[in-house]
């Protein structure tokens, strides 16, 4: 609820009840997803604001305070995950698949702490370029269907 996307789309603009992002990565592929539940007439505006926030990260990076807060959340999630047997099992399996070895939590914390705003900006530039994005909209439409133009040129409300 403290993410910049949640704050912008839900709290500032009041366009969605739920706003979330997630990422899942594999050795040769992955997904970064932003999702939200909006009324049909708010869809284009919500997409436009999401694209604006993505581009702001590409343009400006992430302020140090925001980066530190995100790093703290990742560290907390990692350490809390150690309390669950299934999370530990999944973590060990992923370590073996991706790293070829078990990676201790302390090493993961060091990796998280080593990330800088420039790193986030560089990866964002590569991964969330408009020409690489896909859009899925489910539910009734309040007008024309979304097209690739909505991602390339910006969805206009």
pLDDT at residue number 1: 59
- Report pLDDT digits (tens) over 13-51: 999 889 998 888 877 888 888 999 999 888 888 988 999
pTM: 0.79
- Report pLDDT digits (tens) over 135-157: 888 888 888 888 777 777 755 44
CA distance 129 to 28: 19
What are the sequence ranges of the domains in the chain? 4-152
pLDDT band at 95 (very low <50, low <70, confident <90, very high): very high
For helices 64-81 and 85-99, the axis angle rounded to 10 degrees is 110
Q: Beta strand 16-25 with 30-38: parallel, antiparallel or unpaired?
A: antiparallel
Domain 4-152, classified CATH 3.40.190.10, yes or no:
no
- Could you write out the DSSP letters of every residue in 73-122? HHHHHHHHHTT-HHHHHHHHHHHHHHHSS---HHHHHHHHHH--HHHHHH
Our CA angle for 9, 12, 17, nearest 5°, is 50
Burial 17-39 (b: 16+ CB within 10 A, else e): eebeeeeeeeeeeeebebebebe
- Check if the beta carbon of residue 118 is closer than 8 Å to that of residue 61: yes
């Amino acid at each position: 609820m403290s993410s910049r996307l949640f704050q912008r789309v839900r709290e500032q603009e009041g366009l969605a009840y739920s706003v979330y992002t997630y990422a899942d990565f594999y050795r040769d592929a992955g997904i970064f997803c932003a999702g939200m539940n909006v009324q049909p007439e708010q869809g284009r505006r919500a997409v436009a604001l999401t694209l604006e926030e993505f581009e702001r990260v590409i343009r400006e990076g992430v302020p140090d305070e925001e980066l530190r807060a995100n790093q703290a959340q990742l560290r907390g999630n990692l350490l809390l995950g150690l309390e669950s047997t299934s999370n530990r099992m999944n973590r060990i399996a992923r370590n073996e698949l991706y790293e070829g070895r078990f990676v201790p939590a302390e090493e993961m914390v060091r990796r998280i702490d080593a990330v800088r705003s420039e790193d986030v900006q560089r990866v964002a530039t590569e991964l969330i370029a408009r020409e690489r994005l896909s859009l899925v909209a489910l539910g009734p439409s309040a007008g024309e269907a979304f097209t690739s133009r909505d991602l390339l040129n910006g969805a206009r409300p």
